[in-house]
């Protein structure tokens, strides 16, 4: 009996110690994973949006006006802006874009990784690629989460893109003037069409990119696509996602800028009705879409590629060479 009493605690300690040591290690790994996703997403959004900022500003200016869009008119607008306001004016509002897009992209990409893991556990796909429907849901939830958190910054960016420097001198000035003159609720004007647009846009973008990567791995035998292939997959994702949600993007911009352009838009349907009545279905609700077919694929391709490559780089720095996504 004496031996039994002495040996019991020793055996118990031997079983428990690895478990208690493993818990902090797993927590640290999860924290590193989330931090890597946030950093990679932030960089991806900043690089992509800065690259296409002049085209983005031009697109917004057409979206919120009744002018007919064409490639010639878009070029003329960019050229006149350059002549009258200088080269860097083409990036006017980009500071507000960065303030919004860095947290937006960080949250979206990080949330997508987390939603993929949650849905993978729920459907029993741990460590494997999700099936099509969960893949779409993960992208939609990620975009919705990011949009809900950062929406007021999107409103500020739209206002700065369509107004002269004399009206709003800084991001803070936009917030102050909107709050004083139009009320705080104005910061969320256009929020509903934004969410309705984000669901198909983010869902289809992430779904298309992940699907193309999966198909590529199955047919090429390579675990990972090359950077040019990632750019191509991201471009396809942006083209499909933005085309599906574009009319709601036009409605969102009209509602966001109504206060400074002399319009009153009270709801999504009434805004759509007014646009169609004044400008036509295609010329109104799809105004600037051809520019988006240039801008969007470039931006989304850069964004997805930057995120993936930054993730791989950070993991290699943390764990040494030989580790790939």
pLDDT score of 16 more than 80: no
| Confidence label for 203 from pLDDT (cuts 50, 70 and 90) | very high
302/232 Cα distance (integer angstroms): 9
Model pLDDT, residue 10: 47
Lookup: tokens for 141? 């939830």
What is the separation, in whole angstroms, between the first and last Cα of the chain?
Answer: 55
Q: Per residue, what are the HEC states of 77-110?
A: HHHHHHHHHCHHHHHCCHHHHHHHHHHHHHHHHH
Query: Per residue in 229-248, pLDDT tens?
Result: 999 999 999 999 988 888 88
What stretch(es) of the chain map to CATH 1.50.40.10?
A: 66-188, 189-306
193/198 Cα distance (integer angstroms): 8
Name the CATH superfamily housing domain 66-188. Answer: Mitochondrial carrier domain (1.50.40.10)
Nearest residue to 205 via CA among 138, 106, 289: 138
Lookup: tokens for 323? 């580790």
Mean pLDDT computed over 309-323 = 78
Mean pLDDT, the chain, rounded, equals 83
Q: Which fold has domain 189-306?
A: Mitochondrial carrier fold (1.50.40)
Confirm if 178 and 186 have CB atoms less than 8 A apart.
yes
Helix, strand, or coil (residue 16) = helix
pLDDT score of 216 more than 90: yes
Lookup: tokens for 136? 């779409």
233/245 Cα distance (integer angstroms): 19
Lookup: tokens for 91? 């990036």
């Amino acid at each position: 009996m004496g031996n039994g009493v002495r040996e019991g605690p020793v055996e118990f300690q031997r079983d428990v110690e690895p478990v208690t040591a493993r818990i902090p290690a797993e927590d640290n790994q999860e924290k590193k994973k989330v931090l890597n996703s946030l950093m990679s997403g932030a960089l991806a959004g900043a690089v992509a949006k800065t690259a296409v900022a002049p085209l983005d500003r031009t697109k917004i200016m057409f979206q919120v006006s009744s002018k007919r869009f064409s490639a010639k008119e878009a070029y003329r607008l960019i050229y006149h802006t350059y002549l009258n306001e200088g080269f860097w004016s083409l990036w006017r509002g980009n500071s507000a874009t960065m303030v919004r897009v860095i947290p937006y992209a960080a949250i979206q990409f990080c949330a997508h990784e987390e939603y993929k893991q949650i849905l993978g556990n729920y459907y029993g796909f741990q460590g494997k690629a999700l099936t099509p429907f969960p893949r779409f849901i993960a992208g939609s939830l990620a975009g919705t989460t990011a949009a809900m958190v950062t929406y007021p910054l999107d409103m500020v960016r739209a206002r700065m893109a369509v107004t002269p420097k004399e009206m709003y001198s800084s991001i803070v000035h936009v917030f102050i003037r909107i709050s004083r003159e139009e009320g705080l609720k104005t910061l969320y004007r256009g929020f509903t069409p934004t969410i309705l647009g984000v669901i198909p846009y983010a869902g289809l973008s992430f779904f298309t990119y992940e699907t193309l990567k999966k198909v590529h791995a199955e047919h090429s035998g390579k675990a990972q696509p090359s950077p040019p292939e990632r750019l191509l997959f991201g471009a396809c994702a942006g083209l499909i996602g933005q085309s599906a949600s574009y009319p709601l993007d036009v409605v969102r911009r009209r509602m966001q800028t109504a206060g400074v352009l002399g319009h009153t838009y009270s709801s999504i349907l009434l805004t759509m009705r007014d646009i169609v009545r004044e400008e036509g279905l295609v010329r109104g609700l799809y105004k600037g879409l051809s520019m988006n077919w240039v801008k969007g694929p470039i931006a989304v391709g850069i964004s997805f590629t930057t995120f993936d490559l930054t993730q791989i780089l950070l993991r290699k720095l943390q764990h040494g060479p030989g580790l790939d996504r």
